[in-house]
Amino acid sequence: MSHSDNPTTFFRGLSSRLATNTGAQGGEGNSLITQVDQDRHSSSRRANNTNAGGGSGTGHHAAAAAANANNGRGASTNSSSANTAQASSLIERVRQIRGRPKNTSPLDAAAHPSLLPPPLPRHVGKKCLILDVDETLVHSSYVQPARYDLHLNIALDEMTNVNVFVAYRPYLFEFMEAIAPLFEVVIFTASLGKYCMPLMDAIDKNRVLGDLRLFREHCSVLSSTFVKDLSLLGRNLDHVAIIDNSPVAYLFQQRNAIPITSWFDDPHDDELKQLIPVLRAMAEADTVYDVLDNYNALLQLQQDGL
């Protein structure tokens, strides 16, 4: 597996960088790129005013600023050409992402009842974090695998029961404990409630994540696939994020996405753990986009091998 398609390696570095950046900026999650952009624009203005330097000098300035911000240190004069190219690519990618619409749902949310009830008092002011289940938090199968954590016998109807064997993604419980106080958490699966309810009841016996659960019937169907239309939740999209292994799930609100690789049985996977600092930063930011635009720009660059 190459560096570019090894998401575990990628997330490890990315999460720590984001945590460093956002922490250094006092929780203002977008300040890294904003500052770099501002630096670039001000540098450009200076260059134009003096007719000195021109574009290459401007680019170098931005790259140095981004490189410095990326490694969490202050001013530095030591930036390699690789860092220069990487920083320029990052800035451009963030700009592209910020130029995209927040919401491309074909539905008018105002014409639909909200999927969620009004927030509980303890959730007022918190952002809403949507969690997928299958291949994000767990992997379930009808065939008994060598290792599993939970066995469910589920009644599909009065005549039919099925055995389901569930394996928990590593760090599931640490992840739940970390995010529970930070967000209004919603379990949102494209699977059936008769499977998800007993599953989540078993995983979250003490309802650490609360009671908000949405199922297949709450999805929008697009070309036989299930889309989780975040505009229908009844929450401000500026304050909503979704963690889902399936990109089609967040097709209508891609800037609200926190992608995660599909998990099946890798005991060394640590993506849930690595997301915690990103989520902590997002919880503190003004909007989810302040963190996620940067995060997804870095993710895309890594996937492109840049």
Secondary structure class of 225 (helix, strand, coil): strand
Residue whose entry in the numeric block shows the structure tokens 């996977």: 269
Cα separation of 88 and 300, whole Å?
14
- Distances from the Cα of 247 to the Cαs of 67, 95, 152, 239, in angstroms? 29, 21, 28, 19
Smallest distance, Mg ion to C-beta of residue 12, A: 22
Smallest distance, Mg ion to C-beta of residue 215, A: 13
Nearer to Mg ion, 260 or 285 (CB): 260
Smallest distance, Mg ion to C-beta of residue 135, A: 4
Smallest distance, Mg ion to C-beta of residue 211, A: 21
Q: Can you read off the two tokens belonging to residue 290?
A: 């302040």
Number of C-beta neighbours around residue 20 at 10 A: 18
Nearer to Mg ion, 25 or 189 (CB): 189
Cα separation of 18 and 29, whole Å?
8
Smallest distance, Mg ion to C-beta of residue 253, A: 16
Nearer to Mg ion, 8 or 245 (CB): 245
* Of 37, 134, 204, 244, catalytic: 134
Nearer to Mg ion, 195 or 289 (CB): 195
Q: Decide: 178 and 208 in contact? Cβ < 8 Å.
A: no
Nearer to Mg ion, 263 or 289 (CB): 263
Asked if 204 is an active-site residue, the reply is no
Query: Tell me, what DSSP letter sits at residue 235?
Result: S
Asked if 290 is an active-site residue, the reply is no
Give start and end residues of each alpha helix (H) in the chain.
Answer: 7-24, 31-50, 54-70, 81-98, 172-179, 193-203, 271-284, 288-303
Cα separation of 128 and 182, whole Å?
9
Q: Can you read off the two tokens belonging to residue 253?
A: 């609100």
Nearer to Mg ion, 18 or 249 (CB): 249
Q: How many CA atoms lie within 13 A of 277 on its CB side?
A: 17
Secondary structure class of 206 (helix, strand, coil): coil
Smallest distance, Mg ion to C-beta of residue 212, A: 17
* Of 132, 244, 290, 293, catalytic: 132
> Which residues are CB-contacts of 83 (< 8 A; sequence separation ≥ 6)?
63, 64, 66, 67, 70
Q: Which residues bind Mg ion (CB under 5 A)?
A: 132, 134-136, 245-246
Catalytic residues: 132, 134
